[in-house]
Amino acid sequence: MTCDVEEETHLLTLEEAYHVLRLLVAVAQEGGLASDEADLLAREIAARIPSEN
């Protein structure tokens, strides 16, 4: 089965990924309802991008 529709894959720039990571870390540190999920997502993103330093 082939698909004739081309899908565009939009990726984040490295700068955008760092921004999202910082936001998720801040949410995780707040300790609210979304903190566990934010922490998990932050760890996943951090594992896939180079260190900022």
pLDDT tens across the length of the chain (53 residues): 556 666 777 899 999 999 999 999 999 999 999 999 999 999 999 999 999 87
Tokens 């903190």 -> residue:
35
What does the pLDDT read at residue 8? Answer: 76
Domain boundaries, the chain: 14-48
Is residue 18 within 8 Å of residue 49, measured between CB atoms?
yes
DSSP state of 29: H
Q: What is the mean pLDDT of the chain?
A: 90
What does the pLDDT read at residue 4? Answer: 62
In 1-53, alpha helices (H)? 14-30, 35-48
Whole-structure pTM value: 0.77
Tokens 């921004």 -> residue:
19
What does the pLDDT read at residue 53? Answer: 75
